[in-house]
Structure 1
Amino acid sequence: MTFHKVAVAIITPTHTKKSFELGLEMAKKFDSELTVIECMYKTPPKFYFFETKSDKKTTQNQITKLKAELENWKAVAQKQGIPIKTKLALTDNISHWVVDYVKENKIDLLIVDYPKLSMEEITLFDDIISIIHHKSHCHLLTTKPS
């Protein structure tokens, strides 16, 4: 079995580097292209019909932080000679966005990070991973903490 396109989807706000490192190893082993996707829910505005300056600033701070992280991972992959793409997904529905991306880009292997979470978060992210697993039609690896 070979994987031509490997993607790492970071779906939780508290994640480890484990999934990225595994994606890097897999891309190296199979001489594959690597894509790292940072997924973030759109923050609902405080007021239903419009965003305040505070809402916009919060979202921009999150985006800036995630873009910096993607740039760091891009640098690591490039040092090792791995072709890499990065993508920031600001969405209302992470699972559907990831499934659509996997299908549109013909991803062979998807790696999803699953760190230690609170009980409330576990329910949400279990649902996300379940939908991705059943609808993405590609190989899926889930990295869990040791």
Structure 2
Amino acid sequence: MLRTIRFAPFAAVALLAAAPAMAADSPVVGTWATEAVTDFGTFKSTLTVAEAADGYQVDIKDVPLEGAPPAPPSPPGSISDVVVDGSNFSFKRKLTTPQGEMQFSYTGTVDGDKLTAEVDTGQFGKIPVTGVRQ
């Protein structure tokens, strides 16, 4: 019995130390340099997927086109419905553009350090997106 009690603190510390490793089990979690090639140009962004208290969260920082002013940060609530299931992911992104508000639906997979996705833009069709882990 005494050995069990002495071992308990070590077991608790080991579990706490392992918690960050367990959080990174999904290959989708991380920061990705992404690129979408369209008829209107190549759009680059940094996509970050992280674990959150209630699942996962996504942050996107768009890289401005050459000569354009810096892109504003995504407003709170502009990314929703984030789902990460193993190496698959999906989420929705709301953007305000000069043409009005648009809703994009992202779906994709991760294989090692490569990300492959598709963005359904609605009126402009589907756009392929590729990315590499940073």
**TM-score normalised by the chain length of structure 2:** 0.28
Name the structure, 1 or 2, with higher relative contact order (CA <8 Å, separation 6+).
Answer: 1
**TM-score normalised by the chain length of structure 1:** 0.27
Higher strand share: 2
The structure having more radius of gyration, on CA atoms, is 2
